[in-house]
Structure 1
Amino acid sequence: MHTLNTSEAQLTHATRAQKLLHRQASAALRTSIGLMVGALLIAMIH
């Protein structure tokens, strides 16, 4: 019973960390895509 509670707490913590990580990753991905699109636009204009 004790081990079940421990694993449950770890799972909850892991899920929370995963959500935070996913949010950071998607923000970084959007930023890098925005930079790439901006660079492409600048390259096409020049």
Structure 2
Amino acid sequence: MSDSEEWKARGVFLRVFVYVFATHLFAGFIWLLFYVGGHAPK
């Protein structure tokens, strides 16, 4: 495999990792909002 193909593959893996991490971070933030909202004194 040439260097450029290896670099592209690494870029794809890095991008997927970043997208998955960002999505989980966003989902965790939304979950936190619901959790805090549900436990707020009424």
What TM-score do the two structures reach when normalised by structure 2?
0.76
Matched, 1:6 2:10: no
Q: Distance in 1 between matches of 2:21 and 2:35?
A: 21
For structure 1, list consecutive stretches of 5 or more residues without a partner in the other structure.
Answer: none
Alignment root-mean-square deviation, CA: 1.6
How many positions carry a matched residue from both structures?
42
User: Which 5+ residue runs of structure 2 have no aligned equivalent?
Assistant: none
Give the residue type in structure 2 aligned to 1:33: L
In the TM superposition, structure 1's runs of 4+ consecutive aligned residues that sit over 4 Å from their partners are none
What is the percentage of aligned positions where both structures have the same residue? 12
Bigger Rg, structure 1 or 2 = 1
Q: TM-score when scaled to structure 1?
A: 0.71
1:22 paired with 2:18, answer no
